[in-house]
């Protein structure tokens, strides 16, 4: 799942696709709020926030500041 989110974020960045960035954000939020999903999926938003720290386009369009 983490690789899928990374692929979505990086494709959104490459193509300046704000809609895909929003969809990646929504998936990360859903995983963070789902109690019975695998624990390593629940913190994907935090991992992405750390991974893309300093990339303002990704931080803003994927709303990584929420994590």
Distance linking the first and last C-alpha atoms of the chain: 17
Residue 37: which pLDDT band, with cuts at 50, 70 and 90?
A: confident
* Residue 31 φ then ψ, to 5°: -65, -40
The pLDDT, as a whole number, for residue 39 is 83
The overall average pLDDT reported for the chain is 95
Average of per-residue pLDDT across 23-41 = 92
pTM of the model: 0.90
Query: pLDDT exceeding 90 applies to what percent of the chain?
Result: 87
pLDDT digits (tens, 9 = 90+) for 46-65: 999 999 999 999 999 999 99
Nearest-5° Cα angle at 48, 44 to 40: 20
Residue-range definition of the domain harbouring residue 61? 2-66
């Amino acid at each position: 799942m983490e690789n899928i989110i990374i692929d979505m974020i990086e494709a959104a960045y490459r193509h300046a696709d704000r809609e895909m960035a929003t969809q990646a954000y929504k998936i990360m939020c859903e995983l963070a709020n789902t109690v019975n999903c695998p624990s390593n999926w629940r913190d994907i938003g935090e991992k992405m926030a750390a991974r893309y720290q300093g990339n303002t386009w990704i931080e803003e369009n994927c709303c990584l500041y929420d994590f």
